Chains A and B, each alone.
Chain A
Amino acid sequence: MYVIIVGGGKVGYYLTKELLAAGHELVLMEKDARRAHQIADEVGSIVLNRDGCEGKHLEEAGAKRAAIVAAVTGDDEDNLVVCQMAKHHFDVPKTIARVNNPRNEELFRHLGVDEIISPTRMALAAIEQDIPVHELLHLAQLQGGDLELIEAQIGADSPAIGRRPADITLPDGCSLFVLIRGDQAQTIKPDTIFQADDKVLAISRSECEVELHRQLIGEEAVGAEAS
């Protein structure tokens, strides 16, 4: 499988090393000559000192036969252009863009980027895990961002305590499926009774989140306080 990586910063550099170690055929494009040579000294002749935003350079790099183009420069706009050129000009089956501004994620998907890597969102998720400010943790986006996998922590004052799933009215497009109690995961069944400190995994459309919060955690009024 032939992979083109655009951007030889930290992400591109380590990505290159990992993929090489895994035995993939790849080229790394880095427009800065000094950085390109620096990496080439270490990993060999697979570094191309070219700007991956330019169509003719992508072609030189073999974009027509690439299975994947991964644009991981530090600039969202450059990553978008690389992916769009790869997708629409060279019919690359899979394009991956690093996106720094989380607000750009949806636009990039809409414009034809297949996979989004968002360091900002990953850091945000990690921080939310330690400091559950919102008490609803966003674990993953599914179906291109329409659905979210969410973890809800049942607090001591949750209205859900002592209730069964049938007692909790949730909007359409939102379902509870797994419960983590202690170290054990269990499927949520009709006879499950929620307790304090349970973690509930839900799949929800983003517009249902407020109601999910109200039913499992309580009114949003105290949301600003970390528990």
Chain B
Amino acid sequence: MRTIIVGCGRVGAELAARLAGAGHEVTVLDLQTEAFSRLPETFSGQAVRGDGTDEDVLRRAGAEGADNFLALTEGDNRNVLAAQMAAENLGIPNVVAKINDPVRAAAYSSLGIATICRTMMMVDAMAGYLGSPTGRAQAGVNPPTGHHPGGDHSSPTPAVSESDGQSGSALIAAPAAAGSGTSARGEG
């Protein structure tokens, strides 16, 4: 299983280490060399300095033919560009973009890329912790519902495993029912 991770922040580094530990062949990219200091010394994957939204850089890093592609930089739009490049031009079947803006996250999952929205995950987790009925144990994950070649619904996050085997529509419907998801759609 080959996995490319763009962005070696806290999430990227932690995930890279965990997946490498689980036997994935991991390549992690970041613009800053210092970012790689977040990786543990035992990290067995590759760390490549470069712009993960540049197709030439991704190809040189060996992204073509990978199984998974996770765009986890700080910029929503950079993640959108990298993810679509991975799916369309590099033919990677399972592509996920971190998009913190809930409106954009919902919009892009309907355009066919899986999106993870940290904002909604945290809001739901907090509300859930406080006992609010709008809180949800698992949220913010929008599997693709569109036409994308990357529309493989086996999600890389264990959180959604309870719905595995279903079509993506149940999952995408769930965040929309969670209050802010609905209003986000209304605004969009």
Contacts and interface: CB of A to CB of B under 8 A. Distances in A.
A104 B101 CA distance: 24
Interface stretch (A36-44, A52-60, A219-227): A52-60
A89 interface: yes
Contacts of B89: 107
B51 to A, nearest CB: 9
A111 B54 contact: no
Given A89-B107, A89-B188, A53 B85 contact: no
Interface residues of B, number: 23
A55 B88 contact: no
B177 interface: no
A78 B104 CA distance: 12
Interface string B73-110: 00111101100110011000000000001011001101
Given A53-B104, A101-B54, A103-B54, A77 B77 contact: yes
A76 interface: yes
Given A107-B85, A107-B89, A55 B187 contact: yes
A101 B51 CA distance: 12
Contacts of B101: 54
Contacts of A85: 104, 107
Contacts of A81: 76-77, 80-81, 104
Interface in A18-70: 53-56, 59
B67 interface: no
Given A80-B80, A80-B81, A103-B55, A56 B187 contact: yes
B188 A56 contact: yes
Closest 8 A/B residue pairs (Cβ):
A77-B77, A77-B81, A55-B188, A55-B103, A56-B187, A81-B77, A77-B78, A103-B55
30 contacts: A53-B76, A53-B104, A55-B104, A55-B187, A56-B103, A56-B188, A59-B188, A75-B77, A76-B53, A77-B53, A77-B75, A77-B77, A77-B78, A77-B80, A77-B81, A78-B77, A80-B77, A80-B81, A81-B76, A81-B80, A84-B107, A85-B107, A88-B110, A88-B111, A103-B56, A104-B55, A107-B55, A110-B88, A111-B84, A111-B88
Interface of B: 53-56, 75-78, 80-81, 84-85, 88-89, 101, 103-104, 107-108, 110-111, 187-188
Interface of A: 53-56, 59, 75-78, 80-81, 84-85, 88-89, 101, 103-104, 107, 110-111
